[in-house]
Amino acid sequence: MRTTVDIDDQLLLYAKRQAVEQGCTLKQVLEDALRDFFSHQSLSHESVRLETFSGTGLKPGVNLDNGRSLNDIMDGY
């Protein structure tokens, strides 16, 4: 699944360095780190209720394929 996240610059550089040292991709380093993190957490199996809203669709100027633009909109720029 493709997603966009904001990661601290130094943390991203460290992860990229790890990928080079291990001879794998950045994706693999991040997935391994998340698996390790969650393997040490007690995961709750409670249901999550998501609110949905009806409407006429996206507001003008919103492009769901442009992550940077979405971040700017959400941050109020």
Domains in the chain: boundaries: 1-41
Tell me the CA distances in angstroms from 36 to 25, 26, 56, 74, one per residue in order: 17, 15, 42, 30
Who contacts 58 (Cβ-Cβ below 8 Å, separation ≥6)?
64
Total-model pTM: 0.53
pLDDT of 60: 80
User: How many beta carbons lie within 10 A of that of residue 29, not counting itself?
Assistant: 19
Q: What is the pLDDT of residues 6-30, one digit of tens each?
A: 999 999 999 999 999 999 999 999 9
CATH 1.10.1220 fits 1-41, yes or no: yes
